[in-house]
Chains A and B, each alone.
Chain A
């Protein structure tokens, strides 16, 4: 048997892999409302609970807002809790996202990235999670089913770290990961148990130790200090993320190398920055271009919050051009990632910067689209460009 494939022990969809990650993390409370293309995650989890494969309480609620509210309540009692959603479901949770983060609850949630209407569209697009980037949640964008599984396990360990205590959302692209079958290695339960200790929430609700939660603060109360403390924890999380990915590599042999992944960047002259499944296809394109002798590389953004500014500044040093691909739109400005990268580089690097908005509403980003991005970087002025849109730029 081929050695590269031997390390996988099954094939499954991204959504199945996520459900397995939740089970291996010994999640004790799940609350969800179904929405395409997330539904098969919670369907699988409900089945696991019904079959007593997973010792967890599963609660079906009447809306995503309630799903996040009930997850907040259960996590406050010190129980590891989980939910999953997509698109409009995530937007409906928006208020509760701030509450869970502000209460410092280390919830992990899966989001299957899907476009926001109108017009109705169920396909891959990061606009849903990009519009939640400043809710105090950490954000991870996965490129494979394996990473989707592993990120649930690593996610709890990062979120529950006593220096962090912030929630984390882990993303899969609609259909391209969620409903795509590919090889996955399911780690043994013992490996996960040794890696991920039980949750011990120091401020959990305890009737022997009454406390107030989510109380009131006037302007001179602790409000501003509490927000700064969240910010400081987000800053500190960079170190914890690097440490946890190292520990995970030791436990499983799979190294996610912290907040970003560099692919063929060593002697690159031009590079693409991308996240999710577009980064995966981008690697294929970069590999093919390398075979033709072109010095190109790719930087894959795994964590969007905290944003890997330091890693990006290091990676782009000396490049002739860097192109940021966005599958979401900041109206009037084009890409969200482009804006963040520009902010990270401003005043520190003068690398020519390009932004590419591509694949909105699940439009397939083809090989020739990547080739066009490379061609724009070589031949045109830095700035933002539309890729494969009818009616031109």
Chain B
């Protein structure tokens, strides 16, 4: 079983990202479960979402405390301890940032992608509040190899009532430009 935790802020699409990833993995024949940590959701407030992927049915329904992969949609949430807590020794961080992986000292494999620039250039969300979730999934596909680019693109289109082709391009651009640490 692979456990993935998404951290972002309200409006960036972390919850939707956890669902699109689940859909892509499901399309590839996996059993999946995805859920948000529900709180008082507000634009800008910290948001956590979870996805589990396995070959057979998943019974465990707790939150994820020891993720294999942590996807950080907003580099500023890194300042809270919750984001890095419990990550497995062989775990991985995928961070939305313009910085190189070497600039982070998280003692885990770290990948970076400038999802904000990609989202802004494609007109996803606004310049002040770009929607970076789909770009992060492109980076996820490349960094982990757990799901193929093609299924992530298809799941993204299926899950994007607005701007499906721009979102698909965000996935592809991030897939190409992720920096592997």
Among A1, A2, A283, A366, the residue within 8 A (CB) of B62 is A366
- Residues of the A chain whose Cβ atoms lie less than 8 Å from the Cβ of B32: 11, 181-183
Shortest distance in angstroms between B90's beta carbon and chain A's nearest beta carbon? 20
A202 interfacial contact with B, CB 8 Å: no
Name A's B-contacting residues (CB within 8 A): 1-2, 4-6, 8, 11, 37, 122-123, 175-176, 179-183, 277, 280-281, 283-284, 287, 364-367
Would you call B33 and A180 a contact (CB within 8 A)? yes
- Min CB gap B40→A, angstroms: 9
Give the docked Cα–Cα distance between A164 and B58 (Å): 35
State the CA gap A64–B7 with chains docked (Å).
36
11 contacts between A and B (CB under 8 A): A2-B29, A2-B30, A2-B31, A123-B38, A176-B35, A179-B35, A280-B60, A281-B62, A284-B59, A364-B63, A367-B62
Find residues 18-70 in chain B having any chain A CB closer than 8 Å to their own CB.
19, 22-23, 26, 29-36, 38, 55-63, 65
* Top 3 A-B residue pairs of the complex, sorted by shortest distance between their CB atoms: A180-B35, A1-B29, A284-B60
Which residues of A have CB within 8 Å of B38?
A: 37, 122-123, 175, 179
Report B50 CB to chain A, min CB distance, Å.
Answer: 9
Q: What are the residues of chain B within 8 A of A8 when measuring CB–CB? A: 26, 31
Count of chain A to chain B residue pairs whose CB atoms are closer than 8 Å in the complex: 72
Decide if A181 touches B29 in the complex (CB within 8 Å).
no
Given A5-B29, A11-B23, A175-B35, decide whether A180 and B61 contact each other with a Cβ distance below 8 A.
yes
Contacts of A367 in B (CB 8 A): 60, 62
B34's partner among A175, A181, A366 (CB-CB below 8 A) is A181
Nearest A-chain residue to B63, judged by Cβ = A364
Is there an interface contact between B60 and A4, defined as CB atoms closer than 8 Å?
A: no
- Of A1, A181, A366, which one neighbours B33 at CB under 8 angstroms? A181
Q: A1 — which chain B residues lie within 8 A by C-beta?
A: 29
Q: Which residues of chain B come closer than 8 Å to A179, judged between CB atoms?
A: 35-36, 38
Separation in Å of the A185 CB from the closest CB of chain B?
A: 12
CA distance A5 to B33 in the complex (A): 12
Give Cα distance in the complex from A367 to B57, angstroms. 18
**Which of chain B's residues have a CB closer than 8 A to the CB of A181?**
19, 22, 32-35
Nearest to A4 among chain B residues (CB) is: B56
Given contacts A6-B29, A183-B31, 13 further A-B contacts (CB under 8 A): A4-B31, A5-B55, A8-B26, A175-B35, A175-B38, A179-B38, A182-B33, A281-B59, A284-B58, A284-B60, A365-B62, A366-B62, A367-B60
- State whether A281 touches B29 (Cβ < 8 A): no
Q: A11-B32, A122-B38, A176-B35 are in contact. Are A183 and B59 (CB under 8 A)?
A: no
Complex Cα distance A290/B37, Å?
30
Q: Which of A2, A122, A277 contacts B55 (CB 8 A)?
A: A2
Q: Which of B30, B34, B59, B63 contacts A280 (CB 8 A)?
A: B59
Interface pair A11/B26, CB less than 8 Å apart:
yes
In the complex, what distance in Å separates the CA atom of A182 from the CA atom of B31?
Answer: 8
Cα separation A175 to B35 with both chains bound (whole Å): 8
A281 to B35, CA, bound (A): 15
Whether A280 touches B61, Cβ cut-off 8 Å, given contacts A1-B29, A181-B19, is: yes
B53 vs chain A, min Cβ distance (A): 11
Chain A residues, Cβ within 8 Å of B35: 175-176, 179-181
Report which residue of A2, A4, A182, A284 has the largest number of chain B beta carbons within 10 angstroms of its beta carbon. Answer: A182
Residues of A near B30 (CB, < 8 A) are 2, 5
Determine whether the beta carbon of B59 is less than 8 Å from that of A287.
yes
Cα of A284 to Cα of B60 in the assembled complex, Å: 6
* Max count, chain A CB within 10 A of own CB: residue among B29, B30, B60, B62: B62
- Neighbour of A11 across the interface among B22, B29, B59, CB < 8 A: B22
Distance of B30 from chain A, by nearest CB (Å): 6
Which among B33, B59, B65 has the greatest number of chain A C-beta atoms within 10 A? Answer: B59
